């Protein structure tokens, strides 16, 4: 959608279009509400990430050792 490509959070977006369908088509207003919520979460996570790094630059280094199987 046109507004997606101009969104600052597009690289972080996990919004599934399944949640924006109503009566067989995309409901733009529903999508905008979901987008707004997703952007708020992304901003909160980015803020927390920066705060954690300010406290301890190596505080999240242990995550590089995690192995997902």
User: Could you read off the pLDDT of 9-51 as tens digits, one per residue?
Assistant: 888 888 777 777 778 888 888 888 888 889 999 999 999 999 9
* C-alpha to C-alpha distance for 23 and 46, rounded to whole angstroms: 35
d(CA 10, CA 2): 12
Per-state percent for the chain, helix, strand, coil, to nearest 5 = 60, 5, 35
Give pLDDT, residue 4: 79
pTM for the structure as a whole: 0.69
Left (φ > 0), alpha (ψ -120 to 50) or beta: where does 13 sit? beta
């Amino acid at each position: 959608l046109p507004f997606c490509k101009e969104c600052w959070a597009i690289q972080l977006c996990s919004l599934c279009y399944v949640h924006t369908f109503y009566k067989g088509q995309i409901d733009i207003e529903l999508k905008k509400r979901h987008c707004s919520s997703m952007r708020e979460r992304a901003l909160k996570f980015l803020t927390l990430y920066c705060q954690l790094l300010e406290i301890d630059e190596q505080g999240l280094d242990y995550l590089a050792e995690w192995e997902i199987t």
